[in-house]
Structure 1
């Protein structure tokens, strides 16, 4: 079985998590890092004992099997499409793309390619989230009646000013919805199943003089099963507090909060504690390594057993699209005609 040569495009804040995961994999070799800033690319190459390039297109002429896209959001789609057209596998950081249409472009290129694409929704692989998913699928708590997801984080003026692409629809695609709370939206639909409609609102409450995107969003998610989802996210809190997800079922409930899964069923209460803290930002968890390892296992086995597919990535972009449309038009939007659902 051949080894796989990998490259990382974009040496910003997240690339190191990918690089650290890659160097632990036996049948994978990190060959190149790419960044338009030579100083940053050179430093990354020295740290990980690989070569560096300044233009991602140069990878098309190299013997590369997989490219990790860790760039600003607006570059995800054009880069992914080029690599897929060249038959190179792609692992893309969230979001799949800048917006729904760009995500569709990736999906179209994927349909014509022999390569595979995975989306980095690593929180699906956190221990407690995996446990909650198994309990839902077992049916022991009965059907889901409701799900709530709350994200109350903090993003400062400096956070936006240090990167010229953040805070603008043209380059980031949005604010708290597409950058921070996208993981919670993904988990809510992963737990709850098909969503048929949304009604939501967005606003910019703080830093209006710095950003044009939303820093606060809320929505009601109407699931096909009849369950209701309550979603709230903001970047305006004074700290990055733990995300809370509550899943209310016919015969009990589950609460995911602060690396704990608490299961209440009648008079019985069970608590699972997961070690989801790695060496990186606390709210990232430690499941980047898990999802990357599983992605490469699937590549080597030529399977899609664990890959979070482009279609899954499109589901969150669909939700974000319709939350924004609902906010603009002040009405509920139905998703029945969307191919992703």
Structure 2
């Protein structure tokens, strides 16, 4: 099997999940880490015994690097991905795919013309509970899906935004709680529900209005082509990072996700049908353990020459939903 060389651009909070996952894959070597903060890059370079640079363009003509992981601020995803794809690199980008839809579509166009693949990180699709829910929907085991809801109540304080000057700005973050924290849950709702026909939503800045120019709270009513209705609420104004809550009501039962445990209510009884795998992981606990699975799957597709399923055309759907909620709120329509 051919050995693949990898690089990571961005050595912030999320990069260790990528670095450790890469290091555990046979026939994949992490060769380069990139960050404009040289100290961060050097520290990562020491930890993973790899080359360090503050200029990602060095990667473009480096024939030893086949795969590039984008762990950069949102507004840098599109520009970097397009250049890397034009250079024939495989690109795996953290969410969101981009800060706006025109930028995301440039990435999709570049991927079509590239010999490399574009993948988008929505790791929660790889959670056991998410897989169980999707199989239940597709198999019809509980009959038709009728409705569903998702609730995210997390906490982000002033320092979270003040310590990173790209956060909390429309031009660089692309939004607030919707595009950063709750986009994973919105992605699951649209993955479960399918084609969306209409969205009515609103966004507000309830607590952090003197700190950020984007929203810290949002809600939406989402109607799907199959007559399923989805309700969503998300906020960064809680004083705790509570576990995400999901509920899916079927004709013959209800699936509920509580504290990462999935329960089935059927015939007047509740049973545990799926429980999380608790294992040591880098980063915040509520990021889950899906990163490792997703990254392994991305490389498996590259090695086998198959098209990665969570590609640009799939990864853009959550951004389209986020932008639809923003548009609905602005137009009150």
Local SS of the residue matching 2:108 = helix
Question: Does the Cα contact within 8 Å between 1:124 and 1:187 map onto a contact in 2?
Answer: yes
C-alpha distance in 1 between matches for 2:271 and 2:97? 35
Task: Output the CA distance in 2 between the equivalents of 1:84 and 1:116.
Answer: 8
Q: Answer yes or no: is the 8 Å Cα contact 1:221–1:228 preserved in 2.
A: yes
What's 1:11 paired with?
A: 11
Question: Match for residue 204 of structure 1?
Answer: 205
- Structure 1 residue 281 corresponds to structure 2 residue 284: yes
The secondary structure found in structure 2 opposite 1:187 is helix
Report if aligned partners of 1:169, 1:212 keep a CA contact under 8 Å in 2. Answer: yes
Distance 1:326 1:189 in 2: 17
Q: What is the match of residue 58 of structure 1?
A: 58
TM-score, normalised by the number of residues in structure 1: 0.95
Whether the 8 Å CA contact 2:22–2:29 is kept in 1: the answer is yes
Q: What is the TM-score with the length of structure 2 in the denominator?
A: 0.97
What is the root-mean-square deviation in Å for CA atoms of aligned residues? 1.0
Is 1:269 the counterpart of 2:270? The answer is: yes
Q: 296, 300, 319: which one pairs with 1:297?
A: 300
Partner of 1:182: 183
Alpha-carbon offset, residue 320 of structure 1: 1.0
The residue number in structure 1 matching 2:226 is: 225
Q: Which residue of structure 1 lines up, in the alignment, with residue 244 of structure 2?
A: 243
Q: CA deviation at 1:231?
A: 0.5
Residue 60 of structure 2 aligns to a residue whose secondary structure is helix
In the TM superposition, what whole-angstrom CA distance separates every residue of 1:22-57 from its partner, at most 9, and x where no partner exists? 000011000000001111111100001111111001
- Give 1:1-341 correspondences, 5 Å limit: 1-62=1-62, 63-271=64-272, 272-275=274-277, 278-279=280-281, 280-304=283-307, 307-331=309-333
CA contact (8 A) 2:61 2:87 kept: no
Aligned partner of residue 179 in structure 1, secondary structure: coil
Contact 1:152–1:241 at 8 Å: present in 2 too? yes
CA shift at 1:277, angstroms? 5.4
Distance 1:99 1:303 in 2: 28
Instruction: Mark the runs of 5 or more structure 1 residues left unpaired by the alignment.
Output: 332-341
CA contact 2:152–2:234 (8 Å) conserved in 1: yes
Distance 2:278 2:93 in 1: 21
Whether contact under 8 Å (1:141, 1:265) holds in the other structure is no
Task: Decide whether the 8 Å contact of 1:206 with 1:215 is kept in 2.
Answer: yes
- Secondary structure in 1 matching 2:264: strand
Partner of 1:337: none
For residues 82-113 of structure 1, the C-alpha deviation after alignment (integer angstroms, 9 at most, x for no partner) is 01111100000011111111111111111111
Please list every run of at least 4 consecutive aligned residues from structure 1 whose deviation after the TM superposition is greater than 4 angstroms. Answer: none
C-alpha distance 199-245 of structure 1, shift in aligned 2 (>3 A): same
Distance in 1 (CA, whole Å) between partners of 2:111 and 2:5 is 20
Output the CA distance in 1 between the equivalents of 2:86 and 2:294: 24
